[in-house]
Structure 1
Amino acid sequence: MPKAKQPLTARQVFARNLRRARRLQDLTQEQLALEADMPRAYISRVERGTINISMDNADILAKAVGVPLRDLVDPAKFQGLDDAA
């Protein structure tokens, strides 16, 4: 019997939604990094969900992609968008 799919963690939701919001704005990770004044490698780690992010940095990134922070932590936001875009 297949295992039930585990719900995404808050970190995974933020990572997925940030990546999708960035792509909707047609921004590269480098452009987002410049806008947010953060290293591109840090943006990459955030988008992969491999790093815990502070609330302050989450807010900076939300502003940089032009969406409210609450949208980046909402599991239903950006649902159904092609993640490979």
Structure 2
Amino acid sequence: MPSASPPPDWVLARRRQVGEQIRALRLDANLTQETVSLTAGIDRPSVVRIEQGQQSPTLDTLIRLAEAIGVPLRDLVG
């Protein structure tokens, strides 16, 4: 099976934007990465990688993060 090619630059840029948005919303809610990770049921290093745009979260993870931060899902990617 051939390996997947890396995403194009515009996708990586958008991923970083989403991560920055998640971080901003988390900070606006006065929540730590640790609190969000525990509430969302994901490990803190994953939260860090998502916020830095290094990891592409699944839809399930985005739903968990939105719930943990207390915002609608659309706010994470808007």
- The TM-score range, normalised by the shorter chain, is 0.7 to 0.9
Alignment coverage as a number of residue pairs: 67
Measure how far apart 1:13 and its partner are.
Answer: 2.2
Determine the C-alpha separation between the residues in 1 that align with 2:28 and 2:56: 23
Q: Would you identify which runs of 4 or more consecutive aligned residues in structure 1 move more than 4 Å?
A: none
CA RMSD of superposed structures (Å): 1.2
Q: TM-score with structure 2 length normalisation?
A: 0.79
The gaps in structure 1 that reach 5 residues or longer are: 1-5, 75-85
1:22 and 2:39 are equivalent in the alignment: no
Q: TM-score with structure 1 length normalisation?
A: 0.73
The gaps in structure 2 that reach 5 residues or longer are: 1-9
Determine the C-alpha separation between the residues in 1 that align with 2:17 and 2:66: 13
Counterpart residue type for residue 21 of structure 2: N
Return the structure number with greater helix share: 2
